[in-house]
Amino acid sequence: MKKTAPSRRKFLKYFSVATAAAYWGAGAELFSAASSPKIADIDVFPVNYPMKGRFKFFEGPEGHNIGRAAAIVKITADNGTIGWGESVPIPKWSYETLETVTTTLRYYLRPVLLGHPVFDLHGVHQIMDKNIAPSFDTGQPMAKAGIDIALHDLVGKITGQTLAEKWGRNSAKEITLSWTLNPKSLDELDGLIQEGWDVGFRNFNVKVAPDPQFDIELCRRVKQRVPSGFLWADANGGYDLATAKIVAPKLADIGVAVLEQPLRINNLSGYGELKKQGALPILMDEGIVSPATLIEFIRLNLLDGVAMKPARCGGLLSAKRQIEILLDAGLMFLGSGLTDPDISLAATLALYGAFDYQLPAALNGPQFIDFSVLKKPLAPQQGKLALPVGTGLGIEVDEEKIKKVLVEL
């Protein structure tokens, strides 16, 4: 009698870190490297986008807005085609800074990638990991994401396809967005909700932790104001286990849909306890960078899903594999971002659109960033953001605009 192959979901149950590399490599190369154009040059432009409103990750020591720093990556192929990418560090969120991503791109990754086939994206990641080595996980993933995104854009332009088409998928036309709330006091909350409501947003994500009383009341008031909206709480690792176990059931009772990154990324036993408690779906964010780590955390039963961010994962190649792993395992992925400026935002939209993402996505770049280097900026309409139409990322970069926000390092 012929044996049937186990489902991939069952297979994941027994998956090991040792075999994760095989999963990562299988089908990871989007395109054949045969007869591929070569990388002729890589330019890096450190920039600082002006911002509007208040977001806690971009505040200076005196509370003023410091802007959204990023490193724009321009890769030119030897046939003259140009691809655009972007590295988007946030020192208050992770360990990479504008200075580290810029020097890594210019002095460590550019020299070893010149002359490499444009279509060999898997090989590019192997070279990047060889020269900026992983530790527990991918080394300097935000820097590497700029290269990865630029090559995806470049390949799409050369082949005349959108990324969804190159992945063999149909794409959604638009993504519904979530409005980010991070008030300093409850007195600010009504105004912040109204601000989002007035421009068409009906779903909200809130920054919580470390004050449980404030967080519970915050979520209660948001749900009261917007009872039918999707409400998503993100702690950014700000709770200890005891507090998280108290807060999670109370947030669930209010109507919060998920709790994102409640504990620090290295508190694995704590995540196991929260998952076992089962009060809310527990999503990881900062702690999930590579497919290998995701597979191991699934095996250990530490999460219900992941708040995806291509910029966190080293780019689209890794993020796409992680979404596939999550879906194969019957787990959730929520579309998120790192207050992505225009180029990184376009890449993120292309990825989520290719998977026909239907839940509200916490892509708050347009909410807080007050400048675009694109000829046609990405602007939400009634709480939704249309995917760019065109090959690669579907965007056109205006290099004159880059000069207006360029930073000297």
Task: Write the pLDDT tens digit of every residue in 14-62.
Answer: 444 334 434 334 333 445 556 799 999 999 999 999 999 999 999 988 7
Judgement on whether residues 236 and 148 belong to the same structural domain of the protein: no
Q: Which domain holds residue 215?
A: 166-405
Return all residues near 26 (Cβ < 8 A) that are at least 6 apart: none
The domain boundary residue, chosen from 118, 143, 160: 160
Judgement on whether residues 304 and 351 belong to the same structural domain of the protein: yes
Q: Is residue 131 classed exposed, middle or buried when 0-12, 13-18 and 19+ CB atoms within 10 A define those classes?
A: middle
Measured CA to CA, the distance from residue 33 to residue 47 in angstroms comes to 32
Average pLDDT, the chain: 92
| Distance separating the N- and C-terminal Cα atoms of the chain | 67
Give backbone dihedrals phi and psi of 215, rounded to 5 degrees, phi first. Answer: -65, -45
Give residue 387's pLDDT: 97
Q: Over the stretch 345-400, which tens digit does the pLDDT of each residue have?
A: 999 999 999 999 999 999 999 999 999 999 999 999 999 999 999 999 999 999 99
30 found inside a domain: no
- The CA-based angle 367-351-125, given to 5 degrees, is 110
Judgement on whether residues 285 and 340 belong to the same structural domain of the protein: yes
347 found inside a domain: yes
**Which domain CATH number covers 98?**
3.30.390.10
pLDDT at 11 over 90: no
Of the ranges 58-72, 213-227, 246-260, 345-359, which one carries the lowest mean pLDDT score? 58-72
Q: Over the stretch 159-211, which tens digit does the pLDDT of each residue have?
A: 999 999 999 999 999 999 999 999 999 999 999 999 999 999 999 999 999 99
Contact 334, 361 (CB under 8 A): yes
Judgement on whether residues 60 and 194 belong to the same structural domain of the protein: no
Give residue 321's pLDDT: 96
User: How many domains does the structure of the chain reveal?
Assistant: 2
192 found inside a domain: yes
Give residue 105's pLDDT: 98
pTM of the model: 0.92
Q: What is the chain's Cα-based Rg?
A: 21
Judgement on whether residues 295 and 385 belong to the same structural domain of the protein: yes
22 found inside a domain: no
Give residue 34's pLDDT: 62
Residue 385 is inside which H or E element, if any? strand 384-386
Judgement on whether residues 202 and 346 belong to the same structural domain of the protein: yes
Torsion (CA) 23, 27, 28, 31 in degrees, nearest 10: 170
Q: Over the stretch 81-117, which tens digit does the pLDDT of each residue have?
A: 999 999 999 999 999 999 999 999 999 999 999 999 9
The domain boundary residue, chosen from 125, 144, 160: 160
Judgement on whether residues 226 and 245 belong to the same structural domain of the protein: yes
Q: Over the stretch 141-151, which tens digit does the pLDDT of each residue have?
A: 999 999 999 99
Return all residues near 65 (Cβ < 8 A) that are at least 6 apart: 51, 54, 58, 59
Query: How does 173-201 read in b/e, with b if 16+ C-beta sit within 10 Å?
Result: eebbbbbbbbbeeeeebeebbeebbeeeb
Q: Helix or strand or coil: residue 166? A: helix
- The CA-based angle 233-235-237, given to 5 degrees, is 150
Q: Over the stretch 269-312, which tens digit does the pLDDT of each residue have?
A: 999 999 999 999 999 999 899 999 999 999 999 999 999 999 99
Residue with tokens 């950014």: 236
Judgement on whether residues 78 and 187 belong to the same structural domain of the protein: no
DSSP secondary structure code for residue 4 in this structure: P
Judgement on whether residues 111 and 228 belong to the same structural domain of the protein: no
Contact 186, 217 (CB under 8 A): yes
- The CA-based angle 330-333-335, given to 5 degrees, is 160
What the block records as the tokens of 10 is: 């069952």
Contact 190, 179 (CB under 8 A): no
Which position has the higher pLDDT, 123 or 33?
123
Q: Is it true that the peptide bond before 210 is cis, omega within 30 degrees of 0?
A: yes
The domain boundary residue, chosen from 102, 126, 160: 160
Judgement on whether residues 188 and 257 belong to the same structural domain of the protein: yes
Judgement on whether residues 57 and 149 belong to the same structural domain of the protein: yes
Judgement on whether residues 299 and 386 belong to the same structural domain of the protein: yes
Give backbone dihedrals phi and psi of 363, rounded to 5 degrees, phi first. Answer: -110, 90
298 found inside a domain: yes
